């Protein structure tokens, strides 16, 4: 006695394979269209930090001390007025450098100075 196995093709097996193939092709196309996945990422280079120390001394003079200069010369700057009690830093004129905004006086005699 011998047995013969017949191979039966189901119509759903063919459509399931087609669905899987369609999903794979669609996924590949979507991934290929995404620039963040397809394009290599560029490495951001570290910038050299140029730190200055800004402070108000005991007489109310705004002082700047720059210790990161090339060479051995220490650079210092100070305001031509005294009596400041507070300051802030900000790029007021949009030139890429931060200006010093000093506050001195009180009430109507108060003064705001930008360096």
How many structural domains is the chain composed of? 2
Distance between CA atoms of residues 88 and 16, nearest Å: 68
Do 60 and 34 have their domain in common?
Answer: no
Q: What's the pLDDT tens digit per position in 74-106?
A: 778 899 999 999 999 999 898 888 899 999 988
Supply the DSSP symbol for 12: H
102 in a structural domain: yes
In this prediction the pTM is: 0.53
Q: What's the pLDDT tens digit per position in 57-68?
A: 999 999 998 877
Whose CA is closest to 65, among 51, 49, 83, 79? 51
Q: What's the pLDDT tens digit per position in 37-56?
A: 545 666 666 666 667 889 99
Do 77 and 106 have their domain in common?
Answer: yes
């Amino acid at each position: 006695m011998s047995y013969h196995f017949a191979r039966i093709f189901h119509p759903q097996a063919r459509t399931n394979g087609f669905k899987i193939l369609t999903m794979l092709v669609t996924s590949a196309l979507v991934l290929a269209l995404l620039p963040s996945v397809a394009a290599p990422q560029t490495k951001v280079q570290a910038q050299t930090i140029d730190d200055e120390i800004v402070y108000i001394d005991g007489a109310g003079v705004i002082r700047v001390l720059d210790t990161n200069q090339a060479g051995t010369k220490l650079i210092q700057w100070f305001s031509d007025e005294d009596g400041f009690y507070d300051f802030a830093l900000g790029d007021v004129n949009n030139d890429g450098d931060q200006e010093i905004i000093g506050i001195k006086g009180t009430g109507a005699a108060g003064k705001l100075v930008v360096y």
